[in-house]
Structure 1
Amino acid sequence: MLKTKKVLAIFITATIILFFTGCGNNIHKDTVKNSNSKIRVVVTFNALREFAYAIGKDKIDIETLVPEGTEPHDFEPKVKDMRNISDSKVFIYNGFGMENWVDKTLESIDNKNLIVTNASKGITPIKNGDSNEIKEHGQYDPHIWLSLKNAKIESKNIRDALVKADPLNKSYYEKNFNDFSKKIDALYNSYNEKLKSVPNKSFVTGHAAFAYLCRDYGLEQRSIEDVFASEEPSAKQLKLLTDYCRKNKIKTIFVEEMVSPKISETLASEVNAKVKKIYTIESKEDNKDYLQSMASNLDLIYNSLK
C-alpha cells in the first residue's frame, strides 16, 4: 500500500512538473510571438508611408489607403478602407484638408484603442487664397511634406505615435527618427547656400504644390493649375503666365505625374523652355524614396534658376 502511494505521488509530481513546464513553454512562445509581432499601421498616402517606414522599419506593417496613381484630394474611402483603419493600431493622416473625409470616417470607426495621428500637428500652415477652393478643400495648403523642415515635424509626430503604440521599442523608433532627421538636415543644408546664391527665385510648375518648399528656401512658385489641380487656367491666366515666363526668362516648366502635361508642354513651347518631371511624392514614382525624390526636386529647381 505504501509503495502504491509512493508511486502515485511520484506520478502526480511528474504530471504537475510537465504541466507547468508545458505552460511555461507556451507562455514563452506567446511572449516571443508578441514581442516579435509587428504594429499594424494605416497611412493615407505614399509620403506618410515613407516617413512611417523610415522610423518603424521592420517593427511595423504598413497599409496605404490611397492607391498608387490616385490623387489623394479626390480619394473617398470604401468599406474595406474603413475596416483597415478599424483593424489597425495606428492611423496616420496628413491633415490641413488633404483628407477631408477623415473626421466623418473616424466617427464610424469602432476601435477605442486606435491611435490617431494628425501628422501636421505643430506645422505653421500656408493659407489658401482661393475662396472657391476654401469652400471645397479648406483654408490651408496641405502639401506640407514637400518641405524638408515640415518632413521632420511630420516624422516626429509619427515617431511619437509608434512609441505610444509600442513603448517597448521606444529606443528603436527614436534612433531611426534621429538617423532620418540627420539625413533630412544634410539634404536641406546642401541646397540652402546654393539656392541663396541664385539671382532668380521663381520657377513654374504644373500645379501649386511647392509653397512650403519655397518658404524653406525663399523661393516663389508660379503654376498652371491651383493648389488642388481642380481646374485648368483661363485663357487670360495662361496669357499672364506666358508673359511672366518670357519676362523672367524661365528655362524649365515642371510637370507632375498626376497632372496633365499638355498645357505645360504648350506653355514650354511658347516660351522656348524645357519640360521636366518633378515629384510630388503623393505616389511612389520611379522607385525613389522620399529623400531621393526631394534631392531630385531640389537639384532640378536649382539648375533651372542658375
Structure 2
Amino acid sequence: MFKKFMKFFSIIAIVLCFTSCEKASFKENTNEDNNEKIQVIVTFNPLKEFAMAIGKDKIEVKTLVPEGTEPHDFEPKIKDLKQIHNCKVFIYNGLNMESWLKKCKDSIDNKDIIFVDSSKNIDAIKINNSYDPHIWLSLLNAKIQANNIKEALIKVDSKNKDFYEKNYKDFSNNVDDLYNDYKEKFNTVENKKFVTGHAAFGYFCRDFGLEQNSIEDVFSSGEPSANKMKELIDYCKQNKIKTIFLEDMVSPKVSETLAKEVGAKTVKIYTIESKEDNKNYIESMKDNLEKVYKSLKK
C-alpha cells in the first residue's frame, strides 16, 4: 500500500512540475509578446534600408513589392492587404511611385496604421504633369526620407525616442561624409555629363551638379525611336562619353548597342529598387558615385 501511495505521489509531483514549467514558459512567452518588435511594411528596398538603419532590432520589416518588380507596376493581392492591415507602420515612397496606393488604403479598415509618405518635405523635380519619384538616389533626400521614418517610429514607440534619434544621427553622419567626399571630387571634373539606360538619376545629378542623358525616360517608356537613338549617338560623340551605365531592371540590349556605336564600355549602376550584390544603401551609393566619378575623370 505504501509503495502504491509513493508511486501515486511521484506521478502527482511530476504533473505539478510539468504544469509549473508550462506556466513559467507561458509567462516567458507573454513577456516576449509584450516586447515584440514593431511590425513595419515598406513598399520596396530603399525604404527598408532606411527603416532598418533607424529601427534596427526594435522593428521587423517586410517588403511588399517582390524583388525584381517595378514598384509602379505592382498590384497588391489579398494576402498583401492582410499584411498591411496587421502592421503598425506602412512606409511608401510617394510622388506616385506607388500608383496603386489609394486603392490599397481604401481597402484597409485599420485606422491605427501610421502611413508614412517618405517624400514629405522633399523638393521634387517636376516632369510634365508629374514628378520624378526616384528621390532615394539623392543622398540629401535620403536624410529627409530617413527623418520621416524616424518621426513615425517615435510616434509609435516614444519610450525609445533616444534610440531612434541616435540611429538617425549615425545614418545622417555617414551620408554627410559620403556626400562631402564626392562633392569635392565632382568639383574637380570639367565634364559633368554621363549616360544611363533609365533616367533615374535626376536627384543624384542635382546633388552634385551633373547632367544625365538616358535611353529610357523617367517612367521607363520603352525602347527609343530611331531619331532618339541618333541623338544619343551624337550626344555621346560630342561629349566624349566612354561609359554607358546599365541598371538591373532595364533591358541592356539598347545600351549595349549604343556603347558599341560610340566605342564606349558598359558599366553596372545601382538603382537600389531591389537588393543588389548584397550591398546596403551607403555601399550602393558609394559604388555609384565612384563609378560615375571615374567615368568623368580625364
User: Are 2:250 and 1:253 equivalent residues in the alignment?
Assistant: no
Whichever residue aligns with residue 175 of structure 1, its letter is: K
Deviations 1:24-43 (A, max 9, x none): x9998588435521000000
Whichever residue aligns with residue 44 of structure 1, its letter is: T
How far did 1:168 drift? 1.3
User: 2:94 — aligned with what?
Assistant: 95
User: Are 2:279 and 1:288 equivalent residues in the alignment?
Assistant: yes
Q: Which moved more, 1:215-224 or 1:104-113?
A: 104-113
User: 1:46 — aligned with what?
Assistant: 45
1:59-208 to 2 correspondences below 5 Å: 59-129=58-128, 134=129, 139-208=130-199
Secondary structure at the aligned position of 2:126 is classed as: coil
Secondary structure at the aligned position of 1:197 is classed as: coil
In the alignment, the residues of structure 2 paired with residue 299 and residue 288 of structure 1 have an alpha-carbon distance, to the nearest angstrom, of 15
User: Are 2:215 and 1:224 equivalent residues in the alignment?
Assistant: yes
Deviations 1:146-198 (A, max 9, x none): 00000000000000011111111111111111100000000101100110110
User: 1:278 — aligned with what?
Assistant: 269
In the alignment, the residues of structure 1 paired with residue 87 and residue 109 of structure 2 have an alpha-carbon distance, to the nearest angstrom, of 11
Secondary structure at the aligned position of 1:104 is classed as: helix
User: 2:14 — aligned with what?
Assistant: none
Q: Is the 8 A contact 2:72 2:100 kept in 1?
A: no
Whichever residue aligns with residue 169 of structure 2, its letter is: N
Q: Is the 8 A contact 2:41 2:90 kept in 1?
A: yes
The total of aligned residue pairs comes to 274
Secondary structure at the aligned position of 2:131 is classed as: coil
In the alignment, the residues of structure 2 paired with residue 173 and residue 37 of structure 1 have an alpha-carbon distance, to the nearest angstrom, of 17
User: 2:56 — aligned with what?
Assistant: 57
Secondary structure at the aligned position of 1:204 is classed as: strand
1:21-36 to 2 correspondences below 5 Å: 32-36=31-35
RMSD, aligned α-carbons = 1.5
TM-aligned CA distance change 1:262 to 1:26, over 3 Å: closer
How far did 1:91 drift? 0.2
In the alignment, the residues of structure 2 paired with residue 199 and residue 60 of structure 1 have an alpha-carbon distance, to the nearest angstrom, of 45
Q: Is the 8 A contact 2:198 2:218 kept in 1?
A: yes
Q: What is the TM-score when the length of structure 1 is the normalising length?
A: 0.87
Q: Which structure 2 segments of 5+ residues have no match?
A: 1-23
User: 1:214 — aligned with what?
Assistant: 205
Runs ≥4 residues deviating over 2 A: 25-36
In the alignment, the residues of structure 1 paired with residue 278 and residue 218 of structure 2 have an alpha-carbon distance, to the nearest angstrom, of 25
Q: Which moved more, 1:46-55 or 1:66-75?
A: 66-75
Q: Is the 8 A contact 1:73 1:228 kept in 2?
A: no
In the alignment, the residues of structure 2 paired with residue 302 and residue 165 of structure 1 have an alpha-carbon distance, to the nearest angstrom, of 41
In the alignment, the residues of structure 1 paired with residue 30 and residue 171 of structure 2 have an alpha-carbon distance, to the nearest angstrom, of 30
Match of 1:238 among 208, 226, 229: 229
In the alignment, the residues of structure 2 paired with residue 299 and residue 238 of structure 1 have an alpha-carbon distance, to the nearest angstrom, of 27
Deviations 1:205-246 (A, max 9, x none): 000000001111111000000102122110000100100000
In the alignment, the residues of structure 2 paired with residue 76 and residue 251 of structure 1 have an alpha-carbon distance, to the nearest angstrom, of 39
Secondary structure at the aligned position of 1:279 is classed as: coil
Matched-pair identity in % = 63
Q: Is the 8 A contact 1:65 1:81 kept in 2?
A: yes
